[in-house]
Amino acid sequence: MKYIIFEDFSGQAIPVLFPDRIEHGELREQMPYSTVLSAGYVNSTGQGFVCHGESKTLAASAKPEDAVVIQLHFQQGEA
């Protein structure tokens, strides 16, 4: 899957995961948030999430902390 992490209006990191067939730029056009913090590809493993790669279109790449941001987002959804 692909992902983009946006900064929302309150300054929080918001991850959006989407299928590989959708381009990063296409999804970006649909989002109201102005700032892209990072973007790339994400895989789910038995140990959690692994983020890698980049989006040349958005001039953004995966960061080491992206997997934690995505994991926390899923955990907050369970609460």
Task: Give the model's pLDDT for residue 75.
Answer: 84
pTM over 0.95: no
Q: Where are the domains of the chain?
A: 2-78
Task: Give the model's pLDDT for residue 77.
Answer: 59
Distance of CA 51 to the CA centre of its chain: 9
Distance of CA 20 to the CA centre of its chain: 13
pLDDT tens digit at each of 79 positions of the chain = 999 999 999 999 999 999 999 999 999 999 988 899 999 999 998 888 999 999 999 999 999 999 999 999 888 755 4
For 55, what's the count of Cα atoms within 13 Å in the CB-facing half-sphere? 27
Task: Give the model's pLDDT for residue 74.
Answer: 84
Angle 6-17-32 from CA coordinates, rounded to 5°: 40
Q: Quick one: which of 11, 15, 27, 9 has its CA closest to 65?
A: 15
